[in-house]
Amino acid sequence: MFQLFATVSLISFVGSIHPGSVNLAVVQATLSQNRRAGLWLALGGSLPEIAYSSLAAGGLMLLPTQANWVSWLAYVPIPVLLLVGIASLRQQAGVAVQVAPTGHALPFWRGVALAGTNPQLLPFWSAVWLYLSGATAGNRLLLAHSPHLSQVVFAVGTAAGAFVLLLAYAWLADVQRHRIVRYLNSRWINRATGWCFIGMAVWQLLRLVVFSS
């Protein structure tokens, strides 16, 4: 089971390296607020991995195969990205050394919303689960043990890998804070990330409406 956990965690870590909405939000929260905000957002951004990977591993057969819910799922990130982008544009420039003792809820749920509306998670983890179903570690299958235990380890590994990667983003942003803020103050960081989120929403809409037609 440890080999399964390590394999899935590594896949999740590598698969999360590419710049995405959650990664960008972690960096922005760390720079414009503090490292604690970035860590809470990282936690919220990694938990939806458990839900989607669990669904991919054990719940896909419970869903109607002829339904159009999969195609509509691709539209869900658009309003979320737009709202987060607008919120970033409207966010006031913060002081880097201030730590709000009760300000962890908003970054946490922001991470949950961004990661939870990512339409790529379900097909990605479905493909990984199918691949690992035939993968071996030595002479044994990685999923040779109890199916339920394998699903639990698989789901926890997906969240662990993503969380470690997001922690690395928060740590790097905090360590390089002074170098970054030398060129961009908090207001410009919020503006840049806000327009990036809005751009992601527009690109997702173009992909669905223009390029898929």
**Span 111-142, pLDDT tens digits:** 999 888 887 787 788 878 877 776 666 666 66
Dist CA 95 CA 87 (whole Å): 18
Quote the CA–CA distance of 138 and 124 in Å, as a whole number.
Answer: 25
> What is residue 49's predicted lDDT score, i.e. its pLDDT?
92
Residue 151 has pLDDT above 80, yes or no: yes
Residue type, 180: I
For residue 140, which phi and psi values (nearest 5 degrees)? -120, 150
Cβ neighbors of 77 (< 8 A, separation 6 or more) are 21, 117, 118, 119, 200, 201, 204
Question: Model-level pTM?
Answer: 0.70
Pairwise pLDDT comparison (157 vs 68), residue with the higher score: 157
- The residue type found at 82 is L
Where do runs of H (alpha helix) occur along the chain? 2-15, 21-32, 35-46, 48-54, 69-73, 77-90, 105-116, 121-133, 147-175, 177-181, 186-206
Does pLDDT of 77 surpass 50?
Answer: yes
Cα–Cα distances (Å) from 206 to 78, 164, 172, in that order, read 11, 32, 33
Q: Higher model confidence: residue 136 or residue 199?
A: 199
CA distance 45 to 57: 20
Domain count, the chain: 1
* Interval 146-159 mean pLDDT: 86
Q: Residue 161 pLDDT > 60, yes or no?
A: yes
Compare 211 and 201 and report the one with higher pLDDT: 201
Provide the percentage of residues in the chain whose pLDDT is more than 90.
18
- Residue 170: is its pLDDT beyond 90? yes
Q: Is the pLDDT of residue 184 over 60?
A: no
CA distances from 72 to 11, 125, 182 (A): 27, 19, 43
Return the SS3 of 104. coil
- pLDDT tens by residue, 28-76: 888 888 889 999 999 999 999 999 888 888 765 455 544 565 566 667 6
Domain that holds residue 114: 2-211
Read off the tokens for 82.
């737009």
Q: HSE (CB half, 13 Å, CA atoms) of 58?
A: 14
d(CA 28, CA 181): 12
